[in-house]
Amino acid sequence: MALDRWIALIILGIALAYGYGAFFTMDQLLPPFMQRNPIWPSTFPKVLAVLAILTALVIVLGLEKAETDDTKTPDIDYRRLTDYNLGQALLLLGLMVAYALLLRPAGFLLATAGFLTFGAVVLGERKFHILIPVACVATGVVWYLVEGVLGIFLRPLPFFM
């Protein structure tokens, strides 16, 4: 079985467990007045679980590929992982972890602008005169939309300010 099917099989197992939780365990403790609502807190997880299960099944069963040539090699060859840009991928994963850890102490604006800037540098962008303003404007727009429009508080600056 190809690598994409193995990954889809793992995702299928996770989606089945998530779907079980969404369908059978989330709604037991709802108060009576919420049980009459058409939309419950578990509605989105249920839809997400069903879509994930269907998508994973399509990949596991191979329905997304047209069977034209059986001798074609798979898109990702797990035996040649060293030929891919594995360093970039691992560095981006490390940046994501650092972003999650720095979000509260550094504040949203600094952590997000830094993540976007360093992530673009890791991916090969070298035009800093364009990169830094675009990252700062994008960070500011997202912060305004979340804070001002949605009304969700995000600490914009570091905790010592």
CA 81 to the chain's CA centroid: 22
Report pLDDT for 72: 61
In which band, very low, low, confident or very high, does the pLDDT at 100 lie, cut at 50, 70 and 90?
very high
How many domains would you assign to the chain? Answer: 2
Same domain for 7 and 79, yes or no, is: yes
Report pLDDT for 78: 67
How much is the pTM? 0.55
Report pLDDT for 134: 95
Same domain for 28 and 78, yes or no, is: yes
Q: Tell me the per-residue pLDDT of 40-71, one tens digit each, with 9 for 90 and over.
A: 777 888 999 999 999 999 999 888 776 665 55
Same domain for 54 and 92, yes or no, is: no
CA 60 to the chain's CA centroid: 21
C-alpha to C-alpha distance for 115 and 97, rounded to whole angstroms: 10
Let me know if residue 45 belongs to a domain.
yes
Same domain for 102 and 71, yes or no, is: no
φ/ψ region of 123 (left if φ > 0, alpha if ψ in -120 to 50, else beta) reads alpha
Range(s) of the domain holding residue 65: 3-83
C-alpha to C-alpha distance for 46 and 39, rounded to whole angstroms: 11
Query: 121: which 2 tokens?
Result: 């540098």
Poorest-pLDDT segment among 33-47, 63-77, 119-133: 63-77
72 DSSP assignment: P
Angle at 70 between CA 57 and CA 12, to 5 degrees: 15
Residue 73 has pLDDT above 60, yes or no: no
